[in-house]
A and B are shown apart, each in its own frame.
Chain A
Amino acid sequence: MPDMVETKPSLLCLENVHTHIDQHHILQGVSMDVAAGGATILLGRNGAGKSTTLKSVMGLLPVSQGRIFFNGQAIEASKPYEIARMGMGFVPEDKAVLSTLTVAENFRLSMFRENEKTHKKLAEVLDLFPALKKFWKRQAGLLSGGQRQMLAIARVLVCEHTLLLIDEPSKGLAPIVVDQLAESLIQIKDKTKVILVEQNFRLAQQVGSDCFILDDGRVAFNGPMDELAKDKIMMKKYLGI
């Protein structure tokens, strides 16, 4: 068990992570330390490397250099299913639900181990997203954009996770749905650590306690959300707000 020796105190730690997609060098030495509890926001312009960071952490993109530790265990060479079994959940940006499956089947798929505990958890999750009960037998591809996003988040909550990676959940949603989403995310982060990639700064402020700004595949800022909100120069330079 050599990996167990290389322990780190934080929940998630990235050390000088480089990731290539085909010939493109996307992450160019990302380092971050994420503590347990609350929600951490990843901000940055399009193409800055936010989604690539999440996919690299989840093992969906191979890391070409650097180390990633989750709960003190090195995971940069682990397979996505191994990382998921360690307690990390992932909601991708697009196609986050299985559109050919029904809502019920989407939930059943999420329950990696079906037992009394996960069924109890499912009941709790459906209380959090009551609208999904109405469409239980409906094909997920026939749901509205907002309902699909709710399902995408709800389905990962069915399993006990210590860390949830959520990629741009508000993308393409109406403002009223974004508000509902914010309420759900606030409830989720009280129980599970969330790392959220988000372009909607208002939502990011509502949900997040601290943030990282990525720029050209590197971390350009790390600090509390309040501090960033006050720094107009930083906001203009990296987020264009």
Chain B
Amino acid sequence: MKTDTLKFQTRNRPFQQYAGWIIGIGLFLLPLIQMDLTTYLTLTVAGISLGMLIFLIASGLTLIFGLMDVLNLAHAAFFAFGAYAGFTVLNLLNNAGWIDTASLAQSLFYLALALGAAGLAGGGLGILTEKIVIKRVYGNHLMQLLVTVGVSFVIVELLKMIWGVNDEVVPVPMGFQDAFIIFGVFIEYFRVVAIFLGITIFAILQYILKQTKLGIIVRAGVENQEIVKATGYNISWIFTLVFAAGSALAAIGGTMMAIFNQAVDPGMGNQFLIFALIVVIIGGLGSVTGSFVGAVIVGLSFNYVAFLWPKMALGVNFMIMAIILLIRPKGLFGKD
């Protein structure tokens, strides 16, 4: 009897997995009923690039919330802080007159400078926050919520003090304002850069977490700190490093989103934090792959629905999250 049950489960499991993917892909082809192929492809490219931008902020949240189990509501503030750091670099370059005349290669170089500044600023702020605040509240979710809301207020007020309360226009390097056309689909260079950056960061994170000693230590530290400490590793510094990496990713995401929207404002992180939380929950806590797939789902569904039923654009992501959690309570790639 027991053997029969086992055989039954083994035989059906691949079908169930394929069925899930087939239904999922089928759902994403549904908008074709309401639009022509060119519009669909344009929205798909835009959706994937939006998904990659969301992945940047969500991947940081995956490290901090999913892996380290820290409820960090200051993540949105790190995102905004990074956006302003990148904006400052681009503004300086603009004042020097280099932004308006930048070729694609120069634009990429300026973007790298802006992202580097954002990453350093976000990472540095992350180290300070972890060492001063987070370190004292590990394992206490309520305290984490309270203190990170406090940190968030401090950062946002600092942004207002330094850069002012109003929106600022972000100078976008000229090379990114161009576009090319494939099969009638209009694709901006910046969207391609966003997709490339998202995939690159996904690959780097996967490599570090799965293939390197550091990744093994981080995964082990999340499961059992006692063993890791007793093996000779200074887990305190390793967790600081992970928190800083998560904050740096949020900051890099902030700069990318600032260029994408061509604007920054001190409260800009909050709307994207909602997306990032949805992505992390859909993907499964602590799963970078889950965040990547979740970000693509959110980016695509947001874009399709925003075109067809604009008022439903945000709501549809909550619906998707609810449906996925009903079917898989641990998320798409969450471990039981």
Contact = CB atoms under 8 A, between A and B. Distances in A.
Interface of A: 58-60, 79-81, 84-85, 89-90, 92, 95-101, 105, 108-110, 112, 114, 156, 159
Q: Which of A84, A92, A98, A100 has the most CB of B within 10 A?
A: A98
Contacts of B224: 95, 98
B230 A105 contact: no
A119 to B, nearest CB: 14
Interface stretch (B55-63, B198-206, B231-239, B258-266): B231-239
A105 B228 CA distance: 13
Contacts of A109: 213, 216-217, 220, 228, 231
B68 to A, nearest CB: 14
B176 to A, nearest CB: 41
Given A85-B232, A100-B335, A95 B227 contact: yes
A90 B230 contact: yes
Contact of B226 (A60, A99, A110, A112): A60
- The B interface is mostly helix, strand or loop, or mixed, namely helix
A90 B228 CA distance: 10
Nearest to A55: B226
23 contacts: A60-B226, A80-B226, A81-B230, A81-B231, A81-B233, A81-B235, A84-B230, A92-B226, A98-B224, A98-B227, A100-B335, A101-B216, A101-B219, A101-B220, A105-B220, A108-B213, A109-B213, A109-B216, A109-B217, A109-B220, A110-B231, A112-B231, A114-B213
Nearest to B234: A81
B135 interface: no
Contacts of A85: 232
A98 B232 contact: no
A100 B217 CA distance: 12
Given A81-B231, A101-B219, 6 more contacts: A59-B229, A60-B229, A84-B231, A90-B230, A109-B228, A110-B231
A149 B219 CA distance: 20
Given A98-B224, A98-B227, A100-B219, A112 B234 contact: no
B220 A112 contact: no
B167 interface: no
Interface of B: 213, 216-217, 219-220, 223-224, 226-235, 335
A152 to B, nearest CB: 9
A81 B225 CA distance: 11
A109 B232 CA distance: 10
A141 to B, nearest CB: 9
Contacts of B213: 108-109, 114
Nearest to A80: B229
A206 to B, nearest CB: 26
Contacts of B232: 81, 84-85, 112, 159
B227 to A, nearest CB: 7
Q: Which of B224, B227, B235 has the most CB of A within 10 A?
A: B227
Contacts of A84: 229-232
A142 to B, nearest CB: 12
A99 B226 CA distance: 14
Q: Which 5 A-B pairs have the closest CB atoms?
A: A84-B232, A80-B229, A90-B230, A112-B232, A98-B220
A92 B223 CA distance: 14
A80 B233 CA distance: 9
Nearest to A96: B227
A219 to B, nearest CB: 24
Contacts of A112: 231-233
Contact of B216 (A81, A95, A108): A108
Contacts of B226: 60, 80, 92
A151 B321 CA distance: 39
B253 to A, nearest CB: 27
B216 A79 contact: no
A150 to B, nearest CB: 16
A81 B233 CA distance: 5
Contacts of B233: 81, 112
Q: Which of A96, A109, A110 has the most CB of B within 10 A?
A: A109
Nearest to A88: B230
Contacts of A60: 226, 229-230
Contact of B229 (A81, A95, A99, A101): A81
Nearest to A86: B232
Contacts of B219: 98, 100-101
A199 B131 CA distance: 41
B138 to A, nearest CB: 15
Contact of A92 (B220, B227, B234, B335): B227
Q: Which of A80, A84, A114 has the most CB of B within 10 A?
A: A80
B23 to A, nearest CB: 29
A28 to B, nearest CB: 23
A96 B230 CA distance: 11
A112 B219 CA distance: 16
A90 B277 CA distance: 38
A183 to B, nearest CB: 25
A63 B224 CA distance: 21
Nearest to B237: A81
A80 B232 CA distance: 7
B230 A58 contact: yes
Contacts of B217: 109
